[in-house]
Amino acid sequence: MDSHHRGGIPSLDAAGASSSFLDFVTATNPALLPFGRSLPAGQLPATPHGTTIVALTFAGGVLMAGDRRATMGTMIANRHIEKVFPADRYSVLGIAGTAGIAIDIVRLFQVELEHYEKIEGTQLSLEGKANRLGAMIRANLPMALQGLSVVPLFAGVETGGSEGRLYSYDVTGGRYAELEHHSVGSGSVFARGALKKLWRPDLDQDSAVAVAVEALVDASDDDSATGGPDLVRKLWPVVYVVTDDDGATRVPPETLAPVVQAIVDRRTAEGREA
Amino acid sequence: MAQQFYVSPEQMMKDRADFARKGIARGRSVVVVSFAAGIALVAENPSPTLHKIGEIYDRIAFAAVGKYNEFESLRQAGVRYADVRGYSYDRADVTARGLASVYAQSLGTVFTAEQKPFEVELAVAEVGATQAEDHIFRLTFDGSITDEPGFLGMGGQADLVQQRLADAWRPGAELQAALAWAVDALRAPREANGSGQEAVDPLGPASLEVAVLERDVREVRGIHRAFRRLAASDVERILHSVGKG
């Protein structure tokens, strides 16, 4: 309510403002935003980076999973980090890239969607949500040029529809609708190879969870920045499922543990080396 | 040059207050009631889209009477205030008390400084962990703020509504009872004015706007937003179950 202290009449302020939290904060308090700074020249010290996210569609919805590792150069900066988040009731997003900025962009995006819903009394369309995320990534472009890039993956179902949809982004905010499955981050090449072999049309939800976990296992096998399931610490990937009925729900660790164990057991039994 | 007449400050404030009061009394009433599982907000509102009740934040809701354009701009300003605050600090740091106090400042400023005062009265409700921790604030057109104990009626013939609630309200009630009290209180002005024929208008679920702030939303539905609108069919079912019981 800063506007009132500046002498504005609330009604006029409201008429002039849009329903976007991003636009409002950009106009009133840009220092709150994770991006929009012009950084001075200089060498940036190593910062934590998040890595591999996979997403795939299945019969009745869409699923997204991310590993739990953040790396800082050759060091493991964090082995508990969560990189997949619910954006609102019917969509999720995962982030790869500079963790500090990425996590703030996630928070900003969550508020953006909730803000629109509260102001307008209705949800944004899925396409509208995807476009807002693109605008945020584009706003981060100056930071990306300094090496602080963030690349998200966005997935959701349109309210009232049951078909899951995926969107990938580049650092310029370019938004691309993806079909069937997609992955981002340093291990994405390996994960995508795995998904191409494992994904089938009309997977049910349980098989989709198994496919996503196995793709992450493959990514962690070949990419040092992607963390595999940690059987000692009982750390499983973060997996979110979005369906029209239940919205975005996190798959609980009790469900993931046997899925991971099954993959490990099978690979042990097969005695594969490569 | 036209002659300027002297108007004493007392007279000027009184005129403004009378003007605002008249505007608010013309409308229909809104009731906020705390009950065991949350806070119910009930408005007499025939429009399904022009809401008098709105969500502000996780555990905070807004209700208003008076001029729609004025309270709608205040509602939107409240949502912006809450979202900016929650984004820059933490979601737990957004409180009804903070919001009510900025509303009070805005209303007070407009009352004294602008051409005309806002013809609105607001309620800001925050559901707590227990019923004793619920907060319901009433904000009037001049920026006065009061902390109401458990229930609140405003707008239209507010005295009758408030009195009816005061007679009925008890802590620890179920949603059915709370809704029944609310609807009964909203009917109070009609019964007082009613000359027999007017009693035909029963104030059905279609002309009610109902929302609840759910106390245990995190345990029950696993989300942080406690605000939920009840559809007319749900309201009818709940009110009907009271009639049977």
Distance from CA of B244 to the nearest CA of A (A): 32
- What is residue A169's predicted lDDT score, i.e. its pLDDT? 94
How close A4 comes to chain B (CA, Å)? Answer: 7
pLDDT of residue A246: 85
Mean pLDDT in residue range A182-201: 93
Interchain CB distance below 8 Å, A4 and B80 = no
Q: Do B83 and A111 touch (CB under 8 A)?
A: yes
Give the burial class of B203: count Cβ atoms within 10 A of its Cβ; 0-12 exposed, 13-18 middle, 19 or more buried.
Answer: middle
Alpha helices in chain A (DSSP H): 2-5, 10-16, 21-28, 99-120, 126-139, 141-145, 188-198, 205-222, 253-270
Distance (Å) from the alpha carbon of A143 to chain B's nearest alpha carbon = 21
Domain segments of chain A as ranges: 48-269
Residue B2 maps to a domain: no
Residues of B in contact with A29 (CB under 8 A): 84, 88
Enumerate residues 6+ apart whose C-beta is below 8 A from A214.
A194, A198, A263
Asked if residue B130 has pLDDT above 60, the reply is: yes
User: Could you tell me how many residues make up chain A?
Assistant: 274
What's the pLDDT at A2?
44
Q: Give me the torsion for CA of B111, B161, B27, B109, rounded to 10°.
A: 10
- By Cβ distance, the residue of A4, A11, A32 closest to B109 is A4
In a domain, B4, yes or no: no
Q: Is residue B11 part of a domain?
A: no
Q: Using an 8 Å Cβ cutoff, are A46 and A73 in contact?
A: yes
Pairs of residues, one from chain A and one from chain B, whose beta carbons lie less than 8 Å apart? 67
Rounded to whole angstroms, the Cα distance separating B198 from B182 reads: 19
Q: Is residue B160 part of a domain?
A: yes
Share above pLDDT 70 across residues of chain A, in percent, rounded to a whole number = 94
A13: confidence class by pLDDT, cuts 50, 70, 90: low
Tokens of A85: 């988040």
- Contact yes or no for A14 and B77 at CB 8 A: yes
Interchain CB distance below 8 Å, B80 and A1 = yes
Domain that holds residue B119: 27-244
Token pair 């809704």: residue: B179
Residue A5 pLDDT: 47
Which candidate, B106, B32, B48, places its Cα nearest to that of B74?
A: B106
Is B64 an 8 Å CB contact of chain A?
Answer: no
pLDDT, residue B36, reads 92
The verdict on residue B17 lying in a domain is no
The pLDDT tens digits of the residues spanning A30-59 come to: 888 888 777 777 788 888 998 899 999 999
Pick the CATH number of A48-269 from 3.60.20.10, 3.50.50.60, 3.40.50.300, 3.40.630.30: 3.60.20.10
Nearest-Cα distance to chain B for A10, in Å, is: 6
Residues of B whose CB is below 8 A from A24: 80, 84
SS (H, E, C) A89-102: CCEEEEEEEEHHHH
In this structure, what are the phi and psi dihedrals at residue A22, rounded to the nearest 5 degrees? -60, -45
DSSP secondary structure, A166-219, as one string: EEEE-TT--EEEE-SEEEESTTHHHHHHHHHHH--TT--HHHHHHHHHHHHHHH
Q: CB of B77 within 8 Å of any CB in chain A? A: yes
Region A60-66: what's the mean pLDDT?
A: 93
Backbone φ/ψ region at B201: left (φ over 0), alpha (ψ -120 to 50), beta: beta
The pLDDT tens digits for B202-238 are: 778 888 999 999 998 877 666 789 999 998 888 888 8
* Closest Cα in chain A to B100: A1
| The pLDDT of residue A18 | 76
Structurally, chain B folds into a number of domains equal to 1
Is the per-residue pLDDT at A76 higher than 80?
A: yes
Mean pLDDT of B104-113: 92
What pLDDT was estimated at residue B194? 66
Question: Would you say the ipTM is above 0.95?
Answer: no
Q: For chain B, what percent of residues have pLDDT higher than 90?
A: 58
Residues of A known to be catalytic: 51
Select from B76, B80, B103, B73 the least CA-distant residue to A25. B80
Q: Which of B69, B74, B79, B80 to mutate to test the interface with A (most CBs of A within 10 A)?
A: B80
Residue B185 pairs with which residues in a beta bridge? none
Determine, for residues A111 and B86 on separate chains, whether the beta-carbon distance falls below 8 Å: yes
Interface test with B, best of A2, A6, A11, A32 (most B CBs within 10 A): A11
CA distance readout (Å), A219 to A27, A186, A212: 42, 9, 11
CA distance B133 to chain A (A): 25
Residue type, B169: W
Asked if residue A232 lies in contact with residue A207, where contact means CB atoms within 8 angstroms, the answer is: no
Predicted confidence (pLDDT) per residue in B154-190, tens digit? 988 888 999 999 998 999 889 999 999 999 999 888 8
At residue A272, the pLDDT reads 79
Quickly state the pLDDT bin for A161 (edges 50, 70, 90). confident
Span B190-201, pLDDT tens digits: 887 765 555 546
Contact check, Cβ <8 Å, B73/A14: yes
Mean pLDDT, all residues of chain A:
88
Nearest CB to B114 within list A9, A14, A32: A9
Q: For the domain that residue B83 is a member of, what is the CATH number?
A: 3.60.20.10
What pLDDT, in 10s, does the model give residues A104-131?
Answer: 999 999 999 999 999 988 889 999 999 9
Up-side HSE of residue A216: CA atoms within 13 Å toward CB?
29
What pLDDT does residue A205 have?
A: 92
Rounded Cα–Cα distance for residues B200 and B182 (Å): 19
Q: Given an 8 Å threshold on Cβ–Cβ distance, is A11 in contact with B70?
A: yes
* Three-state secondary structure readout of B133-194: HCEEEEECCCCCEEEECCEEEECCCHHHHHHHHHHHCCCCCCHHHHHHHHHHHHHHHHHHHC
- Per-residue pLDDT at B221: 66
